Amino acid sequence: MSYILIVDQPNLGDGGEIFIHGLGTFKNGEHPITDEQEQRFRVLNARIVVRSDQLSADELAGLEEEERGRAWSQPVGTVLGPNLQTAVESMYGVTAREVKDTPSTSPVDSAAKPQAAETGGE
């Protein structure tokens, strides 16, 4: 889903910019954000999910320090960061509005077009 990012921070002054991790720098105004930019933003703000083993204090004490760290938490996956609308809710003077994508106007493949019947002699 595409977005329009709206920056409205009067305190920025002339030429002032804000930085949004995963998107870049922006001045006051409206900025189009493509699907690709939004996906990159979500990937760069992803978090790693870890599994915590339920070891007792005695079991942990019996392990070497390095083994204790491995036993305590092991990465099991990654969760994408929030979408742009959710992420900007906590940003002062920044909002995001969804833009409905328009249907594709790409030309139809010639193989999919019905062909006119040929009238030829045999």
User: Which tens digit of pLDDT belongs to each residue from 15-64?
Assistant: 899 999 999 999 999 999 999 999 999 999 998 877 666 666 666 666 66
> Tell me, what's the pLDDT at 112?
38
Residue 108 in any domain: the answer is no
Whether 100 has a pLDDT exceeding 80, the answer reads yes
Same domain, 15 and 55: no
How many domains, the chain?
Answer: 2
Does this model's pTM top 0.75? Answer: no
Neighbour tally for 83: CB within 10 Å: 16
Same domain, 56 and 35: no
Residue 51 in any domain: the answer is yes
Band (108; pLDDT cuts 50, 70, 90): very low
Same domain, 11 and 65: no
Percent of the chain past pLDDT 90, that is, above it, reads: 49
The stretch 57-73 carries a mean pLDDT of 64
Residue 94 in any domain: the answer is yes
The domain of 54 spans 47-80
Same domain, 69 and 87: no
Same domain, 74 and 96: no
Neighbour tally for 5: CB within 10 Å: 21
Rounded Cα distance, 115 and 118, in Å: 9
Rounded Cα distance, 82 and 120, in Å: 62
Residue of 11, 48, 35, 16 lying closest to 83 (CA atoms) = 35
Same domain, 1 and 42: yes
